Chains A and B, each alone.
Chain A
Amino acid sequence: MSAPDDAAVPVAPNRTGALVGADAERAGPSGTAAAELQAGTQTGVTPLTPDPPAGRRKRGKGVVYWFCLGWLALVVLAAIAANWLPLPDPNAIDIINKTAPPFSEGHLLGTDGLGRDILSRLAYGARVSLVISVAAVAVGIIVGGTLGMVVGYFRGRLETAVMAVIDVILAFPGLVLLLALVAFVGQSLLAITVVIGFLSIPVYTRVARAATLAVSQREYVLAAGLMGGKTTRILFREIMPNVILPVAAFGLIALGVVIVLEGSLAFLGLSVEAPAATWGSMIAEGKRHLDDAIHIALIPSVVMFLTVLSLNLVGDVLRSRFDVREANL
């Protein structure tokens, strides 16, 4: 900006997000409209986080943040400990008690249309969601991240070629490709994980490449190169630590995306084969009972929603900390 003069002064009001925010709240309906036009513009410009101004707001956000972390911990624990928890067999059919509402005897969250225990199926479903999402994201991060780092560091023709392929893969509507592949590769846990992992490689390649481009021009990296450091050493010692954080923060949000993808597959009956419990298939099953037992669809829906929401929120907090510029992607 060519406004060097008085720059310090306009900056001051611009930084008063807290105050402006709090005041705008009190503002009358229309009276000082245009003054707020600018007042409104002062608040923080974080794209995805609801921007809480300082002080009082910060604490409010903290509660939500910790709630989300707690929820994620609960989901992970349930998935790991599903076998040892005092839960009925997720596939045991209790035909007398089918479509039992929540808080029924022996079925804390009720039963589905076949009389299977919803809580138990949720816990085992969490396993599927978790295994697939974590494994797929890991594949994406390891393969895509390395690829992005390597092409971002060496540049040249390799980079052009790799990025061209990546652009072509990204030219496909994601789920369409996923559906087509899963249908023909198979519906095992492994197959689904591999396909989702494969399809998520491009995104990580981009993130890692952008981060590498930014880092590799920094002086200490240049210096390491000039001093004759071994390339692999530079890549792993100097560059990777700077790339891994933005990629990992991005990965947290990607976990949520994969959970939704798997859920969509399961909902369409194309994820892990029945009768294995997955959240998506539970929701699909509940669709039949929308008019008589909404809880069958609603409970897994809420669980999936909360999980994705928590991942988004926690990922977002971390991402804003590492400041991954989307423009660089």
Chain B
Amino acid sequence: MARLIGQKLLTLVPVLLAVSLLTYLLLNLLPGDPALLVLGPESVSAESIAAVRAELGLDRPLPVRYLAWLGAAATGDLGRSYITQQEVTGAILDRLPVTLELMVLSLTIALVLAIPLGVFSAYRAGSRFDKLVTGTTFGLLALPNFIFALLLIFFLSVRLGLFPATGWQPLSDGLVENLQSAFLPALALSVTNIAVFTRLLRTDMITTLQEDHVTLARSKGLPTWRILFRHALRPSSFSLLTVAGLQVGTLLSATVIVETIFALPGVGRLLFDAINSRDLLMVQGVVLVLAVSFVLVNFVVDLLYTFLDPRIRSGAARVRA
């Protein structure tokens, strides 16, 4: 077990290095003077450009610059924004809790809805309920989350006044207030995942329900809910877990939009602001952090998978979905 984790950890290192390299290269090989980008389009005095060039070490070759940046990044120093004068790392850490809470909440919403929907539409495949679920989720897949967010604001906030349209109440203001401000954005974030998870689970469950072990479970005289949730759901949930991990990438992207729409102080909003002010270092830092988190999440999912599936745990051969 430990050896398995060790092996997986070893493969993680080159991926993380490659991600950092790509982040650095993409934003440093762009057309235009990096110093200008760093400074932003407004301030163009010759001295400041020279100062920035010196500080960025732009006279040094690219590999050296990258290694220096990587070294600093490894110690948690992502530089200081020339525009807001903030420490990039600090700014990200300040905003991270909001984004994390949103993502966890949104994944929870998606799973809480998708598991029963997927299980029951598979159980009643072909029924009116199933067709409704299948059709609705197909529609949800075509619904961009910014449109869904606007619909939510319009109906639940403007019309019914149930939730605030924008703004964030930190947890320190009270759990209810916090959840009230987080609910709409989390729901808006979850729209695609509800559809993806439901459809995936439905397909997997339909296959599982056809398997002999389900018939055997029936022939023991177990109640239906027990067959569905104890016997069929578990083998069906492994690919759900994998996809949930992959969906974190979509989710990270969507936070930029949703946090902007709902004016939430999260990392996504930080990235949006940084992009608008052409804050190169901040953008670079945020992109790196998001990409690394995505890689790490999938790494953890991979490990979880190993823990949860007894067939893999003991090293038995198994084809992964």
Contacts and interface: CB of A to CB of B under 8 A. Distances in A.
Interface stretch (B74-82, B110-118, B141-149, B176-184): B141-149
A205 to B, nearest CB: 16
A305 B146 contact: no
Contacts of A171: 15, 18-19, 291, 294-295
A209 to B, nearest CB: 18
B126 A176 contact: no
Interface in B225-249: 227-228, 249
Interface stretch (B29-37, B85-93, B308-316): B29-37
Nearest to A307: B142
Nearest to B268: A176
A53 B158 contact: no
B134 interface: yes
B199 A37 contact: no
B283 interface: yes
B98 interface: no
Interface in B173-216: 199-200, 203, 206-207, 209-210, 214-215
A43 B126 contact: yes
Main secondary structure on chain B at its contact with chain A? Answer: helix
Contacts of A183: 275-276, 278, 283
Given A180-B287, A305-B147, A40 B19 contact: no
B252 interface: yes
A24 B257 contact: no
B48 interface: no
A93 interface: no
A168 B14 CA distance: 10
A215 interface: no
A238 interface: no
Interface in A34-67: 34, 36-38, 40-43, 45, 47-48, 50-51, 53
Contacts of B209: 37-38, 40-41
B57 to A, nearest CB: 20
Q: Classify chain A's interface size.
A: 35 or more
B272 interface: yes
B224 A290 contact: no
B124 A24 contact: yes
Contacts of A313: 138
B271 interface: yes
Nearest to A270: B275
B218 interface: yes
Contacts of A175: 253-254, 256-257
A25 B250 contact: no
B91 to A, nearest CB: 16
A45 B206 CA distance: 7
A189 interface: no
A217 interface: no
B307 interface: no
A283 B142 contact: no
Contacts of A177: 26, 287, 291
Nearest to B254: A175
A95 interface: no
A276 interface: no
A251 to B, nearest CB: 16
B214 A256 contact: no
Interface in A171-197: 171-177, 179-181, 183-185
Contacts of B276: 183, 269
A214 B111 CA distance: 35
A98 B128 CA distance: 44
B127 interface: yes
Q: Considering the complex of A and B, which 10 residue pairs feature the smallest CB-CB distances, nearest first?
A: A21-B126, A175-B253, A309-B142, A41-B209, A183-B275, A43-B125, A173-B252, A308-B142, A43-B126, A168-B18
Interface of B: 15, 18-19, 22-23, 26-27, 30-32, 37, 122-128, 130-131, 134-135, 138-139, 141-144, 146-147, 150-151, 153-154, 158, 199-200, 203, 206-207, 209-210, 214-215, 218, 224, 227-228, 249-250, 252-254, 256-257, 260-261, 271-272, 275-276, 278, 280, 283-284, 286-287, 290-291, 294-295, 321
Given A40-B125, A175-B257, 19 more contacts: A20-B126, A21-B126, A25-B126, A37-B123, A41-B122, A41-B209, A43-B125, A51-B134, A168-B19, A172-B19, A172-B249, A175-B253, A176-B291, A180-B284, A181-B30, A183-B275, A184-B278, A263-B144, A283-B146
18 contacts: A20-B125, A24-B125, A36-B124, A41-B125, A41-B214, A42-B125, A43-B126, A47-B200, A168-B18, A171-B19, A172-B249, A173-B249, A174-B250, A181-B26, A183-B275, A268-B257, A268-B260, A308-B144
